Amino acid sequence: MNKQQIGVVGAGTMGQGIAQVLITNGFDVQLFDVAESALERARGAIGNGLEKLVSKQRLSGAEQQAALQRLSTLTALDGLAGCRVIIEAAPENPELKEQLFRDLSALAPNAILASNTSSLSLTRLAAVCDSPERVVGMHFFNPVPVLKLVEIIRAEQTSDATVAHIESLTQSLGKTAVAVADMPGFAVNRLLVPMINEAAFLLQEGAATAEDIDTAMKLGAAHPMGPLALGDLIGLDVCLAIMEVLFEGFGDPKYRPCPLLRRMVSAGYLGRKSGRGFHCYD
């Protein structure tokens, strides 16, 4: 097993970012995806990401070349067998992730298996593995090369050694880890998304305009962006899905999704990605 070798499963938005941060910090990455086209897009995005760092003089040309040489892409899962850590960033689908963890657990019996899931239970994922003590959550934030936080989620079965290893890996990526128990929404989404949901209630009740709600939080609470604009950036469908997870997971009415949020998602007003959400975008 190669300590410097890390597997990344899924080459979408998050997998690309995670792979980029790993290779710029000296790790060899085996980036796996089921789709060759996703791997091609990921190579392009990572190349652009490194180019940006060079133009900002945060990386030299030689370091850029060395980083790119540390990246391998593959469509055969068994290429991950020699990795010390495997970070899964496949779609947020419980059956798909459980199958992946079953396969990875058999393929790499000594590797730490980390999931970047935003909302699924790590305890349930660990339960499908042969040695569940090596399963852990490693929740990065988008865009991964920019945002410094990693939430480390301890499943009921996760060992102290697994958590310690992931904490040290997080630190070597120049990021800060916070440890959070395996409960719905972890810490950041449980705080952030109900705030967006509450802003939607304010708007629904006619208490203030969308512009004024956002201005209130920017100027009154020093938030860099108002809650409704933030919801539009995250995607209103994603916000609604997180509220559903919180509502179901805790069974507490304080997490009920705002009816206006539901209506907007049904109408296809998903925020920036659809050109219209609480605000309009060109």
- Report the nearest approach of ligand NAD to the CB of residue 39 (Å): 8
Q: Among 1, 3, 4, 34, indicate the residue that binds ligand NAD (CB under 6 A).
A: 34
Q: Among 7, 10, 132, 185, indicate the residue that binds ligand NAD (CB under 6 A).
A: 10
8 Å CB contact between 263 and 231: no
- Report the nearest approach of ligand NAD to the CB of residue 129 (Å): 16
Give the whole-angstrom CA distance, residue 40 versus residue 274: 25
8 Å CB contact between 155 and 125: yes
* Angle, alpha carbons 5-125-161 (nearest 5°): 50
Tokens of 256: 């009920």
Respond yes or no: is residue 223 known to be catalytic.
Answer: no
- Report the nearest approach of ligand NAD to the CB of residue 168 (Å): 21
Amino acid at 154: R
- Report the nearest approach of ligand NAD to the CB of residue 89 (Å): 4
Q: Which residue has the tokens 């199958």?
A: 99
Contacts of 71 (CB under 8 A, 6+ apart): 19, 23, 29, 31, 43, 46
Respond yes or no: is residue 151 known to be catalytic.
Answer: yes
Scanning residues 199 to 238, which ones bind ligand NAD (CB under 6 A)? none
Q: Among 63, 92, 103, 244, indicate the residue that binds ligand NAD (CB under 6 A).
A: 92
Respond yes or no: is residue 189 known to be catalytic.
Answer: yes
129-133 — which CB contacts under 8 Å span 24+ positions?
129/101, 129/102, 129/104, 129/105, 130/105, 130/106, 131/105, 132/157, 132/158, 133/157, 133/158, 133/159, 133/161, 133/162
CA 210, 214, 215, 220 dihedral sign is: positive
Respond yes or no: is residue 72 known to be catalytic.
Answer: no
Q: Among 31, 50, 89, 111, indicate the residue that binds ligand NAD (CB under 6 A).
A: 89
Scanning residues 122 to 141, which ones bind ligand NAD (CB under 6 A)? 141
Binding segment for ligand NAD among 44-52, 64-72, 90-98, 241-249 (CB under 6 A)?
90-98
Q: Among 142, 176, 204, 209, indicate the residue that binds ligand NAD (CB under 6 A).
A: 142
Q: Quick check: 20 binds ligand NAD (CB under 6 A)?
A: no
Candidate list 118, 119, 121, 197, residue with the active-site label: 118
- Report the nearest approach of ligand NAD to the CB of residue 30 (Å): 12
Give the whole-angstrom CA distance, residue 196 versus residue 227: 5
State the residues that interact with ligand NAD by CB under 6 A.
Answer: 9-15, 32-35, 38, 89-92, 96, 100, 116-118, 141-142
Which residues are marked as active site?
A: 118, 139, 151, 189
